[in-house]
């Protein structure tokens, strides 16, 4: 049987389901993506769009950093392929990211992080307090030290989602919105399709990309899908003049992401409160105060928008990617704080696995089986 004849059912149209679906449709598979609500409206819409391999890494996180860096390297090619395939610009800005220390403890952490990252030849450098205004004039004079990462950038994750939907469709993939998958259909311990509105939709491969809902929504497979749980992030946005802030800036417990049109996004809280998407005014005001402590002019702006999203977290904070213990069922979930960053490498590795039936070496550290007690 040629790969063209094979069908793939993907559960969830976030950045994972859409990226994998697009790549597999490009490779000639018959792809159907099923989405409970509207495409790209959960975590992938709520995100800030940072491509923050260095800024998100701390000493000791080699497994994460290797994956994150590989995906960041894939981003320029992924972005340009996607822009061509979809006809949409996605505002991918490779740029620089600045992390500033606001306390002695954070300063020590930045020094340790720079030492750690340099072991891997990562282009990061410390910026002394006196030089910070040259790098980013709007940073508070109270900032004590900076870490400048040359290759961490950003993408507009909302446009990214729109472009992925378009690219998927142009490659002949089908996207079914407002179409929840009720279960994964098993026959003799093999996944043979998905159940939608009581009907069985057959598929050669089923790929689970349901983000925070991956462990709770599919009765037949609940026991084999490792625990993925939601961690809420509340976000706010301001409108400013384009270019007033020139790069992504992080403080302690806050990040500030300037978009090209002058919108500035501030994130985010880390709340273990279940499937709750509410925001609350005191928390939003606290986020604003944290951001203004890093970039003071933000304190004078009105909050123009606020929202919350659910990061799909796992017990070891690493993604769960690869074949499950059920033949025909592949997992691509649990990307926690970095699913936008990790979308290109996830799509490439999962597509390679589905095409070749060989597990690429890059997937091995993220195998679902790492949580199985017997291994
Ligand atoms: C506030 C916040 C800020 C973030 N900032 C960044 C950032 O700057 N950079 C970065 O790299 N990452 C960031 N992230 C993380 C990133 O957003 C996630 O890791 C990524 O979006 C996960 O993608 P996903 O496709 O797995 O999940 P989702 O985008 O949540 O998509 C899962 C989809 O599955 C659907 N679904 C669930 N159950 C079913 C079912 N039964 N049938 C059909 N469909 C179903 C859902 O409706 C949903 O659309 C952030 C996350 C949050 C919440």
Give 302-318 pLDDT, tens digit per residue.
999 999 999 999 999 99
Q: Is 339 in the pocket of ligand 1 (CB under 6 A)?
A: yes
Containing 350, the helix (H) or strand (E) segment is helix 339-356
Residue 13 lies in a domain: yes
Taking only the tens place, the pLDDT of each residue in 170-224 is 999 999 999 999 999 999 989 999 999 999 999 999 999 999 999 988 998 888 8
- Are 45 and 309 a contacting pair, CB within 8 Å? yes
Taking only the tens place, the pLDDT of each residue in 250-305 is 999 999 999 999 999 999 999 999 999 999 999 999 999 999 999 999 999 999 99
Q: What is the pLDDT of residue 52?
A: 96
- Long-range residue pairs from 239-243, CB within 8 A, at least 24 positions apart, any chain: 239/263, 239/264, 239/301, 239/304, 240/264, 240/297, 240/301
For range 10-36, the mean pLDDT: 98
For range 159-163, the mean pLDDT: 98
Instruction: Give nearest CA residue, ligand 1 atom 19.
Output: 339
Host domain of residue 343:
3-49+158-227+316-371
Taking only the tens place, the pLDDT of each residue in 321-348 is 999 999 999 999 999 999 999 999 999 9
Q: What contacts 1, CB < 8 A, 6 or more positions away?
A: none
Shared domain for 139 and 245, answered yes or no, is yes
Residue 246 to residue 260: CA distance in whole angstroms: 9
Q: What is the pLDDT of residue 221?
A: 86
Could you tell me how far CA 254 lies from the centroid of its own chain?
A: 17
How many angstroms does the Cα of residue 10 sit away from the middle of ligand 1?
14
Q: Is 309 in the pocket of ligand 1 (CB under 6 A)?
A: yes
Pocket-testing residue among 210, 253, 257, 366, ligand 1, by greatest number of atoms within 8 A of Cβ: 210
Taking only the tens place, the pLDDT of each residue in 115-149 is 999 999 999 999 999 999 999 999 999 999 999 99
Q: Is 65 in the pocket of ligand 1 (CB under 6 A)?
A: no
Structure tokens of 240?
């400013």
How many angstroms does the Cα of residue 108 sit away from the middle of ligand 1?
33
- Are 242 and 260 a contacting pair, CB within 8 Å? yes
Shared domain for 141 and 260, answered yes or no, is yes
Phi, psi of 7 (to 5 degrees): -110, 145
CATH number, residue 268:
3.30.9.10
Shared domain for 238 and 221, answered yes or no, is no
Q: What is the pLDDT of residue 1?
A: 43
Q: What contacts 289, CB < 8 A, 6 or more positions away?
A: 299
Pocket-testing residue among 9, 12, 41, ligand 1, by greatest number of atoms within 8 A of Cβ: 12
Using the atom order of ligand 1, give the atom closest to the CA of residue 182.
41
Residue 157 to residue 155: CA distance in whole angstroms: 6
Q: What is the pLDDT of residue 102?
A: 95
Q: Which residues pair with 10 in a beta bridge?
A: 33, 207
- Number of structural domains in the chain: 2
How many angstroms does the Cα of residue 353 sit away from the middle of ligand 1?
22
Residue 213 to residue 322: CA distance in whole angstroms: 17
Residue 320 lies in a domain: yes
Q: Is 71 in the pocket of ligand 1 (CB under 6 A)?
A: no
Half-sphere exposure of 311 (CA within 13 A, CB side): 25
Shared domain for 300 and 174, answered yes or no, is no
Residue 268 lies in a domain: yes
Domain end among 298, 313, 328:
313
Q: What is the pLDDT of residue 3?
A: 45
Band the pLDDT of 4: cuts 50, 70, 90. low
Question: What are the helix and strand counts (H, E) for the chain?
Answer: 8, 19
Instruction: Indicate yes or no: pTM above 0.75.
Output: yes
Domain end among 295, 313, 331:
313
- Are 280 and 177 a contacting pair, CB within 8 Å? no
Residue 68 lies in a domain: no
Using the atom order of ligand 1, give the atom closest to the CA of residue 218.
41
Shared domain for 291 and 247, answered yes or no, is yes
Using the atom order of ligand 1, give the atom closest to the CA of residue 311.
53
Phi, psi of 206 (to 5 degrees): -115, 130
Q: What is the pLDDT of residue 226?
A: 87
Structure tokens of 322?
């690869």
Residue 84 to residue 97: CA distance in whole angstroms: 27
Instruction: Give nearest CA residue, ligand 1 atom 4.
Output: 47
- Are 230 and 274 a contacting pair, CB within 8 Å? yes
């Amino acid at each position: 049987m040629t790969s063209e004849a094979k069908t793939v059912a993907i559960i969830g149209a976030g950045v994972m389901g859409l990226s994998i679906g697009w790549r597999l449709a490009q490779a000639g598979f018959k792809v159907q993506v099923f989405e409970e609500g509207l495409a790209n409206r959960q975590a992938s819409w709520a995100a800030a769009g940072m491509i923050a391999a260095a800024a998100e890494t701390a000493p000791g996180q080699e497994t994460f950093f290797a994956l994150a860096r590989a995906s960041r390297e894939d981003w320029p090619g992924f972005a340009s392929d996607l822009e061509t395939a979809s006809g949409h610009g996605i505002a991918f800005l490779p740029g620089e990211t600045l992390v500033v220390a606001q306390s002695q403890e954070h300063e020590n952490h930045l020094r340790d992080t720079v030492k750690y990252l340099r072991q891997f030849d990562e282009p990061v450098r410390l910026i002394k307090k006196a030089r910070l205004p040259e790098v980013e004039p709007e940073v508070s004079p109270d900032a004590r030290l900076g870490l400048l990462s040359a290759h961490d950038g950003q993408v507009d994750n909302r446009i990214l989602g729109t472009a992925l939907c378009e690219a998927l469709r142009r490659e002949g993939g089908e996207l079914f919105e407002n179409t929840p998958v009720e279960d994964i259909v098993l026959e003799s311990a093999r996944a043979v399709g998905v159940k939608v509105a009581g009907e069985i939709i057959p598929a050669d491969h089923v790929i689970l990309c349901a983000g925070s809902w991956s462990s709770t929504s599919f009765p037949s497979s609940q026991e084999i899908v490792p625990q993925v749980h939601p961690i809420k992030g509340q976000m706010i946005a301001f409108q400013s003049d384009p270019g007033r802030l020139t790069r992504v800036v992080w403080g302690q417990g806050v990040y500030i992401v300037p978009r090209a049109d002058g919108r500035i996004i501030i994130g985010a809280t880390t709340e273990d409160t279940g499937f709750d998407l509410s925001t609350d005014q005191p928390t939003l005001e606290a986020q604003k105060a944290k951001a203004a402590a890093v970039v003071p002019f933000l304190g004078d702006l009105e909050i123009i928008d606020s929202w919350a999203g659910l990061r799909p977290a796992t017990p070891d904070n690493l993604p769960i990617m690869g074949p499950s213990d059920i033949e025909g069922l592949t997992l691509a979930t649990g990307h926690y704080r970095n699913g936008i960053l990790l979308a290109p490498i996830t799509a490439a590795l999962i597509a390679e696995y589905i095409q070749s039936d060989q597990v690429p070496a890059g997937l091995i550290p993220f195998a679902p089986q790492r949580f199985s007690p017997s291994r």
